Structure 1
Amino acid sequence: MHKRKLTGLLLIVTMVMFCASLKAQKPERIEPPSWWIGFQEPKVQLLVYGKDISTLKPSITYPGVSLERVILVENPNYLFLDLSISPEAKPGKVEIAFKKGTKTISKGSIDLKEREKGSAQREGFNQSDAIYLIMPDRFANAITDNDAVAGMREGLNRQDPYGRHGGDLEGIRQHLDYVQSLGFTSIWLNPVLENDQPESSYHGYAITDFYKVDPRFGRNEDYKKFVDDCRSRGIKVIMDMVFNHCGSMHWWMNDLPEKDWINVFPEYTPSNYRLSTVADPYAAKADIELTTRGWFATAMPDLNLQNELMKNYMIQNSIWWIEYSGLQGIRMDTYPYPDKHGMADWILRLKKEYPDFSVVGETWITQASKLVYWQKDFPNKDGYNSHLEYLMDFPMADALTRAFNEGEGWDTGLQRLYDVLADDHLYRYPLNMVVFAENHDMGRMAHFYGGDLRKMKMAAAFVATVRGIPQWYYGSELLMEGDGAKSHGAIRQDFPGGWPGDQINAFTKEGRTDSQNEMVNYLSALFQYRKASKVLHEGNTLHFVPLNEVYVYFRYLGDEAVMVMMNNNDSHDRMVDMSRFEEILKNYGSGTEVVTGQKYNLDTITVPAKSALIIELHK
């Protein structure tokens, strides 16, 4: 080939390669995509991802925003940028120039916004609330066009208990009247963020993008609309978040920023799931490491909150969702499994920005002596303070699965409920326990109560009247069954009537059986009453040791009092001599049962077999 032609060809190839390299050196992702003026912490840390992006020098020229630090990591495809935002900054698009020398190679940006008025003062969920738990994929399908999304790994298969069934945010939004009719004031949705996994991704706990709602549920804008509509109705929304793990198909898994971004082992190593090791003063370090660093499942890589960049990424993500969508609560999945110090840092950061915001931790520990380690201000021997105010009351849930199936004993039947309450001396904040009989991981009540409607009504009565914040699992008012120990899919059923073409619509009275309507009506009466009962929200508790399987307890506040009487005998009504409760009843002369409206004097009261009476007391 002629030398001049060869030189020209080489020049063209070089120019093409140079242009390709310039094209590659651009940010593919900047997270978070937006931030706000006016936070107590004026800094935000951006994760920037792009091919060889670290070879470029970022710069910002935006009034009130300064680039304070550029952090390089092991992987040249990442940059972490610390921005400081002045209170005087104005909303707008903050452009970031990525330069080589003086030449700008590429640009990126984030949106800078004003905070919603009153955002810092928002009220979280509290004892005045009752929580309705919904699995979004299984509640209602309003938009069938998003049931399967092109390019996503898993499509629709409603016949598979572990498949995608098509429920979405709009379906839930369209049935808010139903939720309100039951008396619930808060909604907890299982995670709604993208789970682009090849199978069994319907539950939401294998997140593949922490800044994106799963398109099969809707868009980010749809989630915000859902929260806005709930807030306009006086319903608080609790977002289910996961700091312990992500999905194996998360976008960063093929190109991690740093080797210790996740907890890595030579081969797959699961957690030992022994949460007692974290608080155990005698625990071997190897056991603690396995508990907190082992993976939850093969499809869920374990996130390393000891990595400061990772910890800050997750903390900022939670703040982003609170501010973006207007949340009033967070339920944190697998709370004790990540690094406990990182989790405490998270709570402190949230409280700095939202002093009255509420977080409840999933702390699946059924012994109060071990569970109290995780509640704020407990005097732990190691000096650890979680700063977490609200806990899921797993000791009570464990007792509720058994109590109504057993007869009288020193530690069986209703004595189980008494004993769990007797452990409240351990908690710094016993009113901050979220009380439930079941959830999306446990068996359905109708399963472990053998389909006995009487037992289910007793459980509902107890959850609605005992100290703390009640939580109910969607569909149990329809007597849905399912053994969670055998199949999670079996306890995450579709709500009848939530899908186009469903032959039965259980959202309506006409679409329910007599037994279902009996349960729905009872539940509604309970929680509509509770909604306006300050004594059930804030009241003290006085209870009496169960005798003959009759358990009587009182909630009282000032001059107000509610008496709950439970008869756990299977076939015997019990006539109760009320003189035993003189220390509190001396202040009252009569009472009204809150569900039936029946009037009672306070000499003797007959409690029907397998039932509960909830009696508002009168002077």
Structure 2
Amino acid sequence: MTNALDTIWWHVYPLGATGAPIRDRTGDGSDVAPRLRQLEPWLDYLIELGCNGLLLGPIFDSVSHGYDTLDHYRIDPRLGTNEDFDWLMSECQRRGINVMLDGVFNHVAATHPLVADGLAGSTNWEGHEDLATLHHDDERVKELVTDIMKFWLARGIAGWRLDVAYSVPPAFWADVLARVRADYPDALFLGEVIHGDYAQIATDGTLDSVTQYELWKAIWSSLFDENFWELDHSLTRHAAVCEAMVPNTFVGNHDVDRIAAKVGPEKAILALAFLMTLPGMPSIYYGDEQGFQAMRGEGFSADDPVRPPLPATPEELSDLGAWIFREHQALIGLRRRHPWLTRAKVEVLDKTNETISYEVTDGADKLLIEAWLQPTPGVRVSSGDETIYAMPAEP
């Protein structure tokens, strides 16, 4: 298996991707199905895309959307059983695919037995009346989370995405992760962090990586507003973050508008080019590689549009996204051929509102990236006198 930090992840929200019912459940068991097995044809697709990791959204027994957990030791019946998960792991291992699970250890469903046991608060979390925050200062909670992490690491996963890691006391992470690493020293821990001092948060919690939301914002916003000065500012901060760790970089996930809907398909390829040439641990959100377009809505179903079902097989995808898929293959392939990019240094060389050029290097190798928005969006990646990627045409 590839070192987890050197993985290029394909990020999937399983309940949505497999068409599982999210809310208005009947409670009579009619929604129970081994839907995890529907991911089998998509594992080869993941490899064809160029990725080598599967980052799964929540898969544990829950009330509705997966982040309202009922049992961390049990696969959600809408997705199957623990045996179905073991089958999926064996299929991934056979293909050399790393697997990361989404661990919701800040809160649980308000109906979780931990609430009655006094291990989670009855007050709602961030205004969600159906969620209860775990008591992170309780030794029993620390032991429980440690045991849950080890339970699934023993089944072969590479690590954990820690949901809303920013809401959990750093001392809790430092304590629990030390216990887990005692048995699984190579496990990867990626914390979901939105605002703040990323490097300090990671250091205090002993996290291996955090989500780079600042860079995500700067990429889509600079493309949308045609203002590469914003990206330049963010890259300076990104370079400093990368001195301390390897952050998780992305241009799409289960909580944000689709990049192609936000900036258009052509600019979305520029966003991908930035993602694949900048230091970090990149993840591709399922469907972005096909140009899926959706914007988040309002209310309880706000996220549904960006968490759609996949067809039964990749062959059933629309041909409209084929060119976007090919561009993803080319840029992910470039990244795979230059693995040093994960820990590279980046320096912006020049910028205007509509153009930017920057250099990435590890001291021995070097790439020059030049992007422009007019007259049509384009990007060129070169090494020395050789152009190794260009889309779609030079200015």
TM-score normalized by the length of structure 2: 0.89
Question: Counterparts in 2 of 1:310-329, with a 5 A limit?
Answer: 310-323=141-154, 325-329=155-159
CA distance 1:134–1:167, shift in 2 (3 Å): farther
Secondary structure in 1 aligned to 2:145? Answer: helix
Match of 1:173 in 2: 40
- Cα 1:191–1:533 change in 2 (3 A) is same
In the alignment of these two chains, the number of paired residues is 390
- Does structure 1 residue 460 correspond to structure 2 residue 339? no
Which consecutive residues of structure 1, in runs of 5 or more, have no partner in the other structure?
A: 1-121, 157-163, 272-295, 377-384, 408-412, 499-504, 577-584, 599-605, 609-619
Q: Partners in 2 of 1:247 and 1:561 — Cα distance?
A: 49
What is the rounded CA distance, in whole Å, between the counterparts of 1:354 and 1:430 in structure 2?
22
State the Cα distance separating 1:312 from its structure 2 match: 1.1
On the 8 A contact 2:248/2:283 being kept in 1, the answer is yes
Name the SS of the counterpart of 2:121 in structure 1.
coil
Tell me if structure 1 keeps the 8 A contact 2:229–2:352: no
Of 393, 402, 411, which residue of structure 1 is paired with 2:212?
Answer: 393
Residue deviations 1:325-348 (CA, integer Å, cap 9, x gap): 111021000102123321221122
Equivalent residue in structure 1 for 2:140, among 297, 306, 309: 309
- How far the C-alpha of 1:352 sits from its partner, in A, is 2.0
Which residue number in structure 2 is paired with residue 361 of structure 1?
Answer: 191
Deviation of 1:564 after TM superposition, in Å, equals 1.3
User: Superposed, which structure 2 residues align to 1:411-560 within 5 Å?
Assistant: 413-424=227-238, 426-427=240-241, 429-430=243-244, 432-449=246-263, 452-484=264-296, 486=298, 487-495=302-310, 497-498=311-312, 507-508=314-315, 511-514=317-320, 516-547=321-352, 549-560=354-365
Please list the CA deviations of residues 405-458 of structure 1 after superposition, one character each: whole Å capped at 9, or x if unmatched.
123xxxxx2222221121146436455111111210111112211xx2111100
- Alpha-carbon displacement from aligned partner over 1:210-255 (angstroms, at most 9, x marks no partner): 11111221111211221222122111000100111111232444xx
Q: Distance in 2 between matches of 1:387 and 1:547?
A: 38
> 1:593 is matched with which residue: 379, 388, 394?
388
The equivalent residue for 1:607 is: 394
Q: Compare relative contact order (CA 8 Å, sep 6+) and give the higher one, 1 or 2.
A: 2
- Flag the 1:570–1:155 CA change in 2: closer, same or farther, 3 A: farther
Bigger CA radius of gyration? 1
3-state secondary structure, aligned to 1:184:
coil
CA contact (8 A) 1:544 1:553 kept: yes
Distance 1:322 1:222 in 2: 16
1:299 has 2:166 as partner: no
1:249 to 111, 118, 121: 111
2:205 is paired with a residue of what secondary structure? coil
- 1:60-459, aligned counterparts within 5 Å? 124-126=3-5, 128-140=6-18, 152=27, 156=31, 168-195=35-62, 197=63, 201=64, 203-253=65-115, 256-258=116-118, 261-264=119-122, 268-271=123-126, 297-323=128-154, 325-365=155-195, 370-376=197-203, 385-407=204-226, 413-424=227-238, 426-427=240-241, 429-430=243-244, 432-449=246-263, 452-459=264-271
1:405 aligns to what SS in structure 2? Answer: helix
1:348 partner SS: helix
1:254-292 Cα shifts (integer Å, max 9, x gaps): xx233xx1124xxx4543xxxxxxxxxxxxxxxxxxxxx
- Separation (CA, whole Å) in 2 of partners of 1:543 and 1:484: 32
Q: Alpha-carbon deviation of 1:153?
A: 6.3
Report the TM-score when normalising by structure 1: 0.58
Query: In 1, Cα distance between the equivalents of 2:87 and 2:276?
Result: 29
Which contiguous aligned blocks of 4+ residues in structure 1 show a shift greater than 6 angstroms?
none
- For 1:595 and 1:354, locate their aligned partners in 2 and report how far apart those are by CA, in whole Å: 42
Q: Deviations over 1:507-557 (max 9, x none)?
A: 12x74234x111011001111231232332333323213135221112223
Report if the CA contact (8 A) 1:138-1:167 is conserved. Answer: no
Q: Secondary structure at the match of 1:223?
A: helix
Q: What is the rounded CA distance, in whole Å, between the counterparts of 1:563 and 1:153 in structure 2? A: 58
Shift of 1:151: 8.6
Tell me the SS of whatever aligns to 1:442.
Answer: coil
Shift of 1:154: 7.5
Instruction: Determine if contact 2:164/2:192 at 8 Å carries over to the other structure.
Output: yes
2:394 maps to amino acid: V
1:489/1:454 Cα in 2 relative to 1: closer, same or farther (>3 Å)?
same
CA contact (8 A) 1:206 1:245 kept: yes
Which one has a larger percent helix, Structure 1 or Structure 2? Answer: 2
Give the drift of 1:572.
8.4
Deviations 1:190-226 (Å, cap 9, x if unpaired)? 111111x2xxx1x311111111111221111211221
Give yes or no for contact 1:431–1:469 (8 Å, CA) kept in 2. no
Q: Which whole-Å CA distance do the structure 2 matches of 1:437 and 1:396 have between them?
A: 9
Give 1:388 shift.
1.1
Report the secondary structure of 1:397's partner residue. Answer: helix
| Aligned counterparts of 2:169 and 2:28: Cα–Cα separation in 1 | 31
Does the residue aligned with 1:364 lie in a helix, a strand or coil?
coil
Consecutive unaligned residues of structure 2, counting only runs of 5 or more, are none
- Distance in structure 2 (CA, Å) of the matches to 1:130 and 1:428: 17
Task: Tell me the secondary structure at the aligned position of residue 165 of structure 2.
Answer: coil
